[in-house]
Amino acid sequence: MDTDRERHSARETAFYLFTQQSLPACKPVLTPGWVIAIFLFMGVIFIPVGLVTLRASHCVVEIVDRYDIDCVPESSRMDKVSYIRDDSIPKNCSRFMKVHKYMKAPIYIYYQLDNYYQNHRRYVKSRSDKQLLDGQKYHDTSSCQPVESNNNRPIVPCGLIAWSLFNDTFEFIREGAELKVNRKNIAWKSDRGHKFGKNVYPFNFQNGTLIGGGKLNPEIPLSDQEDLIVWMRTSALPSFRKLYGRIEEDLDVDDVVVVNLTNNYNTYSFGGKKKLVLSTSSWLGGKNDFLGHACVFVGCSSLTLAIIFMLLHVKYRR
């Protein structure tokens, strides 16, 4: 009994101290010396980190080729939308990518889309994660409208995201020999294992009158359709890259890579751009200068403020 009273009394005491703001706390006094020291410390830390990050980014070798305009015949460039929608016209195209700097394998292949708003609210919501995992066992696919069913039969996978799957294809040739492209393990392992069913197969997909993007092999489960898995992880920005595969051979300086591609995907109706990217990687990932520039900017700003505060403190002691 006494123990319970003591515990209750201790809780009341702690609550009283908390409500009366009487608990012991750290109350730093920001004197001029401390402020100057903090800004100097931030500058000393952030500037080297930014320079190291920029160096890692500049070590990445990258080749970018925009092909959506050049791969349309001149006779069709006044009406690109009609050209891309006409299935009777072959969409084959060849591009040449010259290597200006030694590229060490693995070389990552990305396709880049610009002015493509995958983050549009209606687009993002048009999917069914339950159906991707359970297939036709899951019947509530109202979120997939307007691509929910066709001929009174469900569509698997349903929704606008799957329906608009990217379907340009690429083949790479160097010195007359084909460069093998490894298209396995391009999607996140967690997505393959936990978000797409191993026993769920495409059904009634792209069978309507209006065809969106790529088609899926109905004999391969969704967990192995890695193009789809990569595409279903929507991007937050209107310009984005998605991994297509990996070339596991080194490319030497002045090598010319011939890219035979099929220009199937319609970005012309909304003013989008399509680019093919070959890129190496560093310990920090792909080429991206933003983090390095941000760190250098913060570090330089901190040093500048430290110098200003130091001069003010020397001039106005009070």
In a domain, 264, yes or no: yes
Q: Same structural domain for residues 119 and 148?
A: yes
Q: What is the pLDDT of residues 50-68, one digit of tens each?
A: 999 999 999 999 999 999 9
Same domain, 131 and 254: yes
Tokens of 282: 């560093």
**Does 123 share its domain with 207?**
yes
Flag whether 37 is in a domain. yes
Mean pLDDT, range 151-176, rounded to an integer = 93
| For residue 2, pLDDT beyond 60 | no
Q: What pLDDT band is residue 163 in, cutting at 50, 70 and 90?
A: very high
Rg of the chain, C-alpha, whole Å: 28
Does residue 23 form part of some domain? no
pLDDT given at position 124: 93
Same domain for 302 and 239?
no
CB-based contact 262:91 (threshold 8 Å): yes
pLDDT score for 3:
67
How many residues are recorded in the chain? 318
Tell me the average pLDDT of the chain.
90
Let me know whether 214 and 239 are in one domain: yes
Whether 66 is in a domain gets the answer: yes
Is pLDDT above 80 for 114?
yes
Lowest-confidence segment of 21-35, 87-101, 203-217, 242-256 by average pLDDT: 21-35
The b/e string for 35-62 (b: 16+ C-beta within 10 A; e otherwise) is ebeebbebbeebbebbeebbebbeebbb
What ranges make up the beta strands (E) of 140-295? Answer: 149-150, 153-154, 169-174, 177-179, 181-182, 240-247, 256-262, 273-279
CA 181 distance to own-chain centroid: 20
Single-letter code of the amino acid located at 225: Q
Are residues 80 and 107 both part of a single domain?
yes
Do 93 and 36 sit in the same domain of this protein? no
Q: Which of 144, 116, 118 is nearest to 130 (CA)?
A: 144
The pLDDT value given to residue 263 = 94
For residues 36 and 162, state if they share a domain.
no
Q: How many Å apart are CA 111 and CA 117, to the nearest integer? A: 15
pLDDT band, residue 315 (cuts 50/70/90):
confident
Q: How many CA atoms lie within 13 A of 128 on its CB side?
A: 27
For a pLDDT cut of 90, what percent of the chain falls above it?
71
Considering the domain boundaries, does residue 288 fall inside one?
A: yes
Residue 182 in tokens:
């490894």
> Same structural domain for residues 160 and 296?
no
Decide if 196 is inside a domain. yes
Q: What is the pLDDT of residue 317?
A: 74
**Is 183 within the bounds of a domain?**
yes
pLDDT for 145 equals 85
Residues 47 and 140 in one domain: no
The span from the CA of 84 to the CA of 231, in Å, is: 21
The answer, yes or no, to whether residue 221 has pLDDT greater than 90, is yes
- pLDDT number for residue 142: 87
In this prediction, what percent of the chain has a pLDDT beyond 70? 93
Instruction: Tell how strand 169-174 and strand 240-247 pair up.
Output: unpaired
- Return the pLDDT at 12: 72
Position 203 scores a pLDDT of 93
Angle at 247 between CA 64 and CA 194, to 5 degrees: 100
* Residue from 181, 202, 185, 201 nearest 193 by CA: 185
Q: Taking a C-beta distance cutoff of 8 angstroms, is the pair 69, 311 a contact?
A: no
Q: Decide if pLDDT at 284 tops 70.
A: yes
- Count the domains in the chain: 2
Q: Which of the 8 DSSP states describes residue 270?
A: G
Average pLDDT score over residue span 35-45: 93
Q: What is the domain range of residue 126?
A: 60-279
1 band by pLDDT with thresholds 50, 70 and 90: low
pTM to 2 decimal places: 0.84
